[in-house]
Structure 1
Amino acid sequence: MDMLNQILSINNGGAYGGGKAGGAFDPLTFAMKPQVVIRALCWLFSVVVFGCISSEGWTEKDGKEYCLYNGDGMACKYGNMVGVFGFLASMGFMGGEFLFERMSSVKSRKRYVMADMGFSAFWTFMYFVAFLYLWSQWSSSPPPPLGIGAGSMKTAIWFCLFSIVSWALCALMAYKRFLIGAGDEFTSAFETDPANVVHQQAYGYSMDNDNDQYSASPFGQPQQGGMEQQQSGLEYQQPTY
């Protein structure tokens, strides 16, 4: 649990959890970023999935191509599709992480984070479907001749399961980035609202004041004392005879 919290700790001081735009690029720091590490795992798992299926998922039977997943050609095609697009998307998002630190526009960072969050969540679902689909077809399929390809088919299923976890982590990190950015936008919008600025100046209140102190009211104690003195000076004096 502590390791998961450390992975999801991504607030670097900039907008949407990124670093300051225009900073110096450090390859080692970039390679150790949680987003880059998890994306690299997604890339590796995708290579294993479509590599196993495309290399040994098909065999010749009666002069036709036969998918080892119970003869269901759609199972092999779906597994290949999820793996190939996951491979391409992982490379694209790793390039996006490189450009993310150089995005000076907060709106550009917001669009990237939302795209990352949406696609990662969607591809988690796609891998979940692939895992169930391939596992159900493999459990019903007869053993391949001489056992050729059986290990690759099982490996593809296992790495679909691993991909579910890795893509879900990407979605969680993007969601946390979005929450950080949304909180920053709310705070900056409140502090720069003209109505709030006038209100703070009128009552001497500051967002940075931890004690929440207010300035003295214009109708405070000194004015009240002056009124009492005026009233005492205007008291009726009984005439002497």
Structure 2
Amino acid sequence: MCTIGYGDITPNSVTTKLFSILFVLVGFGFIDILLSGMVSYMLDLQENYLLRTVQHGGQKKDSTRSYIIDVNKGRMRIRMKVELALGVVVLCIGIGVGAMHFVESLGWLDSFYLSVMSVTTVGYGDRVFRTLPGRLFATIWLFVSTLAVARAFLYLAEARVDKRHRKMTKWVLGHDLTISEFLAADIDNNGFVSKLEFVIYKLKEMRKVSKKDIMQICETFDRLDIGNCGKITLADLVESHH
């Protein structure tokens, strides 16, 4: 179910093969959802603790400091996810090495080899769990370790994408408008770029919002602007609810 496949024990009948197909597809997805919930819960606890520490660090809490915390919150969460996932992977490999050395009576090198090949779901089959205590240990250890490795790679990819997005955002916000960009930012073609148009254009450049999103928002605004006066009033909202 952890996608390893050592090859020492395999289904050998039609019934067991069909059962294995269903069991692997459903079971692996269920364990992945379960582990995801556990990881998210641990991250929430760690994040809340760090934020409380920052807020009660003896400094005066003002609007600027609160803004900095909000801006860095997403970045901090990604970094914590990567660190937590990598820490769990290292811990799982270490636990596996110790268990294989003392339970399966393998040498330290073979123990480390089998541990890494197991948590990365390679499973060549030249080294397997042969003792009953070793197999009982593996049934629990492999659930956590293999999915932890998958999560670690996922979080590393997420961190890399976030880094690229931050680099692009810094570049977008760091240069002034050119003539072509001015014409593109002038949404209503009235010869000047308002603050709102400038914000919308920069969001589009940073790929935070697409043209389709803007059109859908405008359609919603037009639907709520019953008086067709370019703004939504309380009377418009009351009339729209009726």
Q: Do both share a fold (TM > 0.5)? A: no
Of structures 1 and 2, the one scoring higher in RCO (CA 8 A, sep 6+) is 1
Greater CA radius of gyration, 1 or 2? 1
TM-score for the superposition, normalised by structure 1: 0.37
TM-score for the superposition, normalised by structure 2: 0.37
